[in-house]
């Protein structure tokens, strides 16, 4: 489908006042051919490639921004999962930590905002390299600034790796204790059914089946969608869905044009457009406020799940009509700390952890950027994660968790993470969980719907 420059400028004119942007351009880089049994040789090759391609990404992104006047908020890189790259090397935590520091140094030298891929795919079991990398997470993410991590702990085809879930609960507690206000936990996400072309951090990585290099683009426009909902206060829900769908269609077309032109300029493969609505701390740039503009008095009250389901469906339909390359997560993020409307709802008591979990059954991301007391037991953290992964496994959808245990804080306190990470009220959680269930470990088998081939 041909996209005209005039159409893009029409979209820019419509959206500039409502925070429409290209939230991220994420360059995927395959590093498997850099692997070596000599760490220094591997390290040098990986560093050189990341810096070279990162500088190219930045240079081309600046040209595209100036040409079309649409800001590209973040420039990011995603690499091959670290646990795979470290397979030939000694199973020592310090090796994994040194590689994380290399990723951080390369991103800094190339002036890249974040670099993802410090993670592993462990939905069915863990290799020695996987376990070593998970053990290194607390030290690696607390000693770096731009490195993000991920773990795929479950899938519809494999079930839930409870050994890894239990292990990660303890890993998370240690990471929180090693970083100020537990903010290191904001840099790692755990998944069920993790997409391997996701441009959004913290879960971005360059997965199997991808080419040597690919450009994935994440657009975002909650402020734009909120504005059109407010402009249509009297239409019925069928008509409102159509309005949202048409709006997302337009911004997706603009995003795809920019993504394709950037990929052509860099002479690399254009991957996907992720059409997720991702809120920021800016006034009006809130997913919760879209739900409230639909007529829900406050996010979390009865009706919120139905409204969110309608929003996600309209977003997906509009994006799918606009582009044949829609991928990644492509839904709606509902992070607590990064969305002013979500924060207000938590403080007012209309949005609890239980209701937040219910909302994730219809959105595409999961329990995202929410803070809990730092003394929450590791088994409780693991149980929260297991519940969310089960939603993804049973419903054959992507779900994720970014939970931040904040040392020294209690329910109702406010913690400030700074920048795009925003601020979050500490949510109340149980101090006990089904301990005997969690410590059984093992693997929760895949549901019968996995047997579809």
Among the residues of 349-414, which ranges form H helices? Answer: 353-359, 378-395
User: Under DSSP, is residue 19 helix (H, G, I), strand (E, B) or coil?
Assistant: coil
Kindly report the CATH number assigned to the domain that includes residue 44: 3.20.70.20
Inside any domain, residue 405 = yes
Verify cis geometry, omega within 30 degrees of 0, for the bond prior to 126.
no
* Residue 7, pLDDT score: 58
Q: How far apart (Å, rounded) are the C-alpha atoms in residues 413 and 429?
A: 13
63-78: pLDDT as tens digits: 998 888 788 888 999 9
The residue-averaged pLDDT of 433-442 equals: 86
Q: How far apart (Å, rounded) are the C-alpha atoms in residues 231 and 381?
A: 42
Q: Which residue has the higher pLDDT, 364 or 249?
A: 249
Tell the residue number behind the tokens 């479950």, with chain if given: 154
Beta bridge partners of 325: none
Q: How far apart (Å, rounded) are the C-alpha atoms in residues 69 and 62?
A: 10
Beta bridge partners of 74: 24
- Highest mean pLDDT pick, 20-34, 78-92, 212-226, 428-442: 78-92
Phi, psi of 65 (to 5 degrees): -60, -45
Q: Which of 293, 290, 282 is nearest to 312 (CA)?
A: 290
Tell the residue number behind the tokens 């911004």, with chain if given: 251
Q: Binning pLDDT at 50, 70 and 90, where does residue 2 land?
A: low
Strand bridging mode 213-220 / 399-406: unpaired
Q: Is the pLDDT of residue 434 over 90?
A: no
Q: Is the pLDDT of residue 14 over 60?
A: no
Mean pLDDT of all residues belonging to the chain: 91
Tell the residue number behind the tokens 């997913």, with chain if given: 287
Q: Which of 70, 72, 65 is nearest to 10 (CA)?
A: 70
Inside any domain, residue 5 = no
Q: Binning pLDDT at 50, 70 and 90, where does residue 22 land?
A: confident
Q: Is the pLDDT of residue 1 over 60?
A: no
> Which tokens sit at 209?
């089946």
Phi, psi of 151 (to 5 degrees): -140, 130
User: Under DSSP, is residue 301 helix (H, G, I), strand (E, B) or coil?
Assistant: coil
325-336: pLDDT as tens digits: 988 888 889 999
Q: Is the pLDDT of residue 337 over 70?
A: yes
Inside any domain, residue 13 = no
* Residue 9, pLDDT score: 61
Phi, psi of 398 (to 5 degrees): -80, 130
295-321: pLDDT as tens digits: 999 999 999 999 999 999 999 999 999
Our count of domains for the chain comes to: 1
User: Under DSSP, is residue 426 helix (H, G, I), strand (E, B) or coil?
Assistant: strand
Q: How far apart (Å, rounded) are the C-alpha atoms in residues 204 and 444?
A: 25
Q: Binning pLDDT at 50, 70 and 90, where does residue 431 land?
A: confident
* Residue 187, pLDDT score: 95
Q: Binning pLDDT at 50, 70 and 90, where does residue 343 land?
A: very high
* Residue 20, pLDDT score: 67
Q: Binning pLDDT at 50, 70 and 90, where does residue 83 land?
A: very high
Q: Binning pLDDT at 50, 70 and 90, where does residue 449 land?
A: confident
User: Under DSSP, is residue 119 helix (H, G, I), strand (E, B) or coil?
Assistant: strand
Q: Is the pLDDT of residue 26 over 90?
A: yes
- Distance in angstroms between the alpha carbons of the first and the last residue of the chain: 33
Sequence-separated (6 or more) residues with CB below 8 Å from residue 325: 256, 270, 271, 272, 273
371-408: pLDDT as tens digits: 999 999 999 999 999 999 999 999 999 999 999 999 99
Inside any domain, residue 14 = no
Q: How far apart (Å, rounded) are the C-alpha atoms in residues 329 and 301?
A: 26
Phi, psi of 23 (to 5 degrees): -65, -35
User: Under DSSP, is residue 335 helix (H, G, I), strand (E, B) or coil?
Assistant: coil
Inside any domain, residue 176 = yes
Q: How far apart (Å, rounded) are the C-alpha atoms in residues 453 and 446?
A: 14
Q: Binning pLDDT at 50, 70 and 90, where does residue 280 land?
A: confident
169-215: pLDDT as tens digits: 999 999 999 998 999 999 999 999 999 999 999 899 999 889 999 99
Q: How far apart (Å, rounded) are the C-alpha atoms in residues 137 and 124?
A: 20
Inside any domain, residue 417 = yes
- Domain of residue 53 covers 20-447
Inside any domain, residue 343 = yes
* Residue 341, pLDDT score: 93
* Residue 324, pLDDT score: 86
Inside any domain, residue 4 = no
Q: How far apart (Å, rounded) are the C-alpha atoms in residues 300 and 265?
A: 44
* Residue 72, pLDDT score: 86
Q: How far apart (Å, rounded) are the C-alpha atoms in residues 114 and 107?
A: 7
């Amino acid at each position: 489908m041909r996209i005209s420059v005039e159409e893009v400028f029409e979209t820019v004119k419509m959206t500039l006042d409502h925070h429409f942007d290209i939230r991220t351009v994420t360059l995927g880089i395959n590093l498997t051919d850099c692997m070596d049994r000599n760490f220094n040789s591997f390290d040098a090759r990986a560093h050189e490639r990341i810096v070279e391609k990162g500088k190219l990404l930045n240079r081309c992104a600046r040209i595209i921004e100036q040409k079309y006047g649409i800001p590209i908020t973040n420039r990011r890189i995603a690499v091959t999962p670290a646990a795979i790259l470290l397979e030939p090397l000694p199973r020592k935590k310090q090796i994994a930590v040194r590689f994380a520091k290399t990723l951080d140094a390369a991103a800094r030298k190339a002036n890249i905002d974040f670099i993802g891929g410090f993670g592993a795919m462990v939905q069915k079991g863990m290799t020695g390299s996987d376990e070593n990398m998970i053990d290194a997470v607390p030290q690696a993410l607390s000693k770096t600034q731009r490195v993000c991590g991920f773990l795929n702990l479950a899938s519809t085809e494999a079930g839930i790796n409870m050994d890894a879930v239990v292990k990660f609960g303890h890993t998370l507690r240690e990471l929180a204790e090693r970083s100020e206000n537990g903010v290191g936990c904001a840099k790692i996400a755990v998944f069920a059914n993790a997409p391997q072309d996701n441009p959004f951090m913290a879960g971005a990585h360059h997965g199997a089946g991808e080419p040597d290099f690919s450009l994935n683009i994440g657009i975002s426009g909650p402020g734009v969608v909120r504005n059109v909902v407010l402009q249509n206060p009297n239409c019925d829900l069928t008509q409102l869905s159509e309005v949202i769908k048409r709006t997302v269609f337009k911004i997706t077309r603009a995003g795809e044009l920019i993504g394709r032109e950037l990929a052509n300029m860099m002479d690399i493969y254009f991957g996907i457009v992720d059409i997720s609505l991702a809120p920021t701390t800016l006034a009006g740039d809130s997913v919760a406020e879209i739900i409230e503009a639909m007529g829900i008095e406050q996010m979390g009250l009865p009706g919120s799940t139905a409204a969110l389901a309608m929003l996600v469906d309209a977003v997906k339909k509009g994006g799918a009509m606009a582009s044949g390359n829609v991928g990644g997560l492509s839904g709606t993020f509902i992070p607590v700390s990064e969305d002013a409307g979500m924060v207000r709802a938590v403080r007012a008591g209309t949005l609890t952890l239980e209701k937040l979990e219910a909302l994730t059954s219809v959105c595409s991301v999961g329990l995202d950027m929410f803070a809990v007391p730092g003394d929450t037991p590791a088994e409780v953290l693991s149980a929260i994660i297991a519940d969310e992964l089960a939603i993804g496994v049973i419903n054959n959808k992507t779900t994720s968790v970014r939970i931040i245990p904040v040392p020294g804080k209690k329910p109702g306190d406010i913690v400030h993470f700074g920048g795009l990470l925003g601020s979050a009220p500490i949510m109340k959680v149980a101090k006990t969980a089904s301990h005997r269930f969690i410590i059984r470990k093992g693997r929760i088998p895949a549901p019968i719907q996995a047997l579809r081939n």
